[in-house]
C-alpha cells in the first residue's frame, strides 16, 4: 500500500478538535453532567409526541425550507421570513455565516476566551482569528474590539452572554461599539442563552438588528427550549445575509423531527420559559452560596457560571468528578459549571465549600 495519503488543507493541521463536555457516565460515582450547558429537564410530553409522530416518516427527506418553523418564527419575532435562516444548531448557522463572509486573507474578531467553536470554524473558513482578551472582570472589551477592526475584518462575534464566563455587555456600550463598526462588516450577536438574561440593561439583539442592516442575531433551541440533541438553531438577519445563509446550508440539514420539536416548543413556550425561570432561581441560589463561601463569581446571565481557578482548574474538576458532578475545565484558566438540577447544584456547593479558595 502507498505511504502517501490524500492531500488535506494545511489549515486543518492546527485546528483543535471541538471538545464536548464530558459525559456523566464516564465521570464520577453519581453522575450529573454539568459540563455542556444543557437543559436538565426532560422533553415536555407534547414535544415528545410531535417528535414521535414525525419519526413515522423518516424514510422521507425533511422539508428543506422548514416552512412550518419559518412561519412560526416569523410570527413570534415579527420579522419577514426572508430574514430568517435555520441550521443544524446555531453553531451550524455560525459556520454558514463564516462560509458566506470570510476566506483566506480575511479577519474575524471575537473576544477570548469565548465560545470555543469560534476559532475552529474561523480556521476552517481559511480566515484569520483576531482574539481580543476579555477585561480583567471577564467581560467583552468592546473598545479594544473596535480598535482591532481593519480593512480585512469581515465578521465580528459578540457572544452575549459570553460562554464560558456568563458575563454580558449592556445596551449603551453595545450601541456605542456598533456605531464604530463599518457598515460592510457583519456583527453576529450570538444569543444562545438569551432566555436566561434577567438584566434589563442587556439589549435584545433582535432590537439591534431592526435598526442595523449589518447585525445578525443567532438563537438556538438547544438551551432554554431543551432540544440540544435535535440540532436546530436559526439566524435573524437582513435579506442579503439571510439569503447567503440559505445558500451555504447543508441541504436537508434540519431533520423533520427537529422542525416539529421546535414548532411544538414555540407553542409550549410559556411552560418552557417557566422552567428557565426555575433555573434562573437556582442560578441565584448557587452564585449567592458560592460568594458567601468566599468565591469570586463573575455576574452571570446564562445557565452556567465561571470560576477562574488558574493552575488549580484540573484539581477542582477532579474533586467535582469525585463528588459526582462533571464540570467543564479549561486547563490553566478556569472551570465552567452548568446550573443543573438542584441535587447536582447541591453537590457542587459541597465541593466548593471545602475546596481551598486560594493557594
Ligand atoms: C455561545 C454559544 N453559541 C452557540 C452554541 C451552539 O449551540 P447549538 O449549536 O446547540 O445551537 C453554543 C453551545 O454551547 C454556545 O455556547
pLDDT tens digits, one per residue of 42-52: 999 999 999 99
Q: List pocket residues of ligand 1, CB cut-off 6 Å.
A: 37, 89-91, 115, 159, 163, 190, 192, 220, 222, 228, 233
Q: How far is the CA of 66 from the centre of ligand 1 (A)?
A: 20
Q: Taking a C-beta distance cutoff of 8 angstroms, is the pair 320, 326 a contact? A: yes
Residue whose C-alpha is closest to residue 358's, from 291, 290, 317, 309: 309
Quick check: 28 pLDDT over 50?
no
Ligand 1 atom nearest 94 alpha carbon: 4
Arithmetic mean of pLDDT, 313-331: 97
Q: How far is the CA of 5 from the centre of ligand 1 (A)?
A: 34
In this structure, which residue's CA is closest to atom 3 in ligand 1? 192
pLDDT at 22: 83
Quick check: 208 pLDDT over 90?
yes
Q: With pLDDT > 70 as the criterion, what percentage of the chain qualifies? A: 98
In this structure, which residue's CA is closest to atom 8 in ligand 1? 89
Pocket probe for ligand 1: among 19, 33, 90, 118, the residue whose CB has the most ligand atoms within 8 Å is: 90
Q: At a CB cut-off of 8 Å and minimum separation 6, what does 287 contact?
A: 297, 300, 305
**Dist. CA 114–CA 133, nearest whole Å:** 9
pLDDT at 129: 98
Pocket probe for ligand 1: among 222, 233, 265, 328, the residue whose CB has the most ligand atoms within 8 Å is: 222
Quick check: 101 pLDDT over 90?
yes
Kind of pairing, strands 186-190 and 215-220?
A: parallel
Task: Please give the grid coordinates belonging to residue 9.
Answer: 488543507
Ligand 1 atom nearest 231 alpha carbon: 10
In this structure, which residue's CA is closest to atom 9 in ligand 1? 89
Quick check: 223 pLDDT over 70?
yes
Q: Taking a C-beta distance cutoff of 8 angstroms, is the pair 307, 334 a contact? A: yes
In this structure, which residue's CA is closest to atom 6 in ligand 1? 91
Arithmetic mean of pLDDT, 170-176: 98
- When pLDDT is cut at 50, 70 and 90, the band that residue 23 belongs to is confident
Residue whose C-alpha is closest to residue 94's, from 195, 163, 8: 163
Residue whose C-alpha is closest to residue 348's, from 267, 302, 282: 282
**Dist. CA 156–CA 181, nearest whole Å:** 9
Query: What's the DSSP call for residue 302?
Result: S
Ligand 1 atom nearest 222 alpha carbon: 10
β-pair partners for 333: none
pLDDT at 288: 98
pLDDT at 250: 95
Quick check: 167 pLDDT over 60?
yes
Q: How far is the CA of 223 from the centre of ligand 1 (A)?
A: 8
Ligand 1 atom nearest 88 alpha carbon: 9
Ligand 1 atom nearest 37 alpha carbon: 14
- When pLDDT is cut at 50, 70 and 90, the band that residue 27 belongs to is very low
Arithmetic mean of pLDDT, 161-178: 98
pLDDT at 52: 97
Pocket probe for ligand 1: among 192, 235, 261, 328, the residue whose CB has the most ligand atoms within 8 Å is: 192
Arithmetic mean of pLDDT, 67-93: 98
The 10s digit of each residue's pLDDT in 197-206 is 999 999 999 9
Q: How far is the CA of 357 from the centre of ligand 1 (A)?
A: 30
Q: With pLDDT > 90 as the criterion, what percentage of the chain qualifies? A: 91
Ligand 1 atom nearest 115 alpha carbon: 1
Ligand 1 atom nearest 114 alpha carbon: 1
Amino acid at each position: 500500500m502507498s505511504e502517501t495519503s490524500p492531500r488535506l488543507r494545511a489549515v486543518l493541521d492546527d485546528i483543535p478538535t471541538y471538545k464536548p463536555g464530558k459525559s456523566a457516565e464516564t465521570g464520577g460515582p453519581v453522575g450529573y453532567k454539568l459540563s455542556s450547558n444543557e437543559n436538565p429537564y426532560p422533553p415536555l410530553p407534547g414535544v415528545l409526541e410531535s417528535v414521535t409522530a414525525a419519526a413515522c416518516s423518516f424514510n422521507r427527506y425533511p422539508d428543506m425550507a422548514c416552512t412550518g418553523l419559518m412561519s412560526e418564527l416569523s410570527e413570534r419575532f415579527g420579522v419577514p421570513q426572508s430574514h430568517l435562516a435555520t441550521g443544524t444548531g446555531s453553531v451550524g448557522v455560525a459556520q454558514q455565516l463564516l462560509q458566506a463572509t470570510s476566506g483566506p486573507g480575511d479577519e474575524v474578531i471575537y473576544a477570548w476566551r469565548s465560545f470555543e467553536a469560534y476559532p475552529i470554524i474561523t480556521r476552517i473558513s481559511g480566515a484569520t482569528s483576531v482574539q481580543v482578551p476579555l477585561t480583567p472582570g471577564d467581560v467583552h472589551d468592546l473598545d479594544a474590539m473596535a480598535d482591532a477592526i481593519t480593512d480585512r475584518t469581515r465578521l465580528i462575534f459578540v457572544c452575549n452572554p459570553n460562554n464560558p464566563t456568563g458575563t454580558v455587555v449592556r445596551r449603551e456600550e453595545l450601541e456605542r461599539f456598533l456605531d464604530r463598526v463599518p457598515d460592510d462588516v457583519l456583527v453576529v450577536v450570538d444569543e444562545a442563552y438569551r432566555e436566561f438574561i434577567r438584566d434589563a440593561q442587556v439589549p435584545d439583539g433582535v432590537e439591534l438588528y431592526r435598526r442595523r442592516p449589518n447585525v445578525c442575531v443567532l438563537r438556538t433551541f438547544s438551551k432554554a427550549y431543551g432540544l440540544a440533541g435535535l440540532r436546530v438553531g436559526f439566524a435573524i438577519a437582513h435579506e442579503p445575509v439571510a439569503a447567503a445563509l440559505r445558500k451555504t446550508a447543508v441541504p436537508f440539514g434540519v431533520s423533520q423531527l427537529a422542525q416539529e420539536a421546535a414548532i411544538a416548543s414555540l407553542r409550549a413556550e410559556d411552560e418552557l420559559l417557566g422552567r428557565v425561570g426555575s433555573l434562573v432561581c437556582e442560578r441565584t441560589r448557587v452564585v449567592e452560596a458560592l460568594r458567601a463561601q468566599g468565591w469570586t463569581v463573575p455576574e452571570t446571565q446564562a445557565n452556567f457560571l465561571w470560576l477562574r481557578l488558574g493552575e488549580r482548574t484540573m484539581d477542582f474538576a477532579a474533586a467535582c468528578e469525585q463528588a459526582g458532578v462533571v464540570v467543564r475545565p479549561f486547563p490553566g484558566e478556569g472551570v465552567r459549571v452548568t446550573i443543573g438540577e438542584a441535587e447536582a447544584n447541591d453537590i457542587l456547593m459541597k465541593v466548593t465549600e471545602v475546596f481551598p479558595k486560594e493557594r
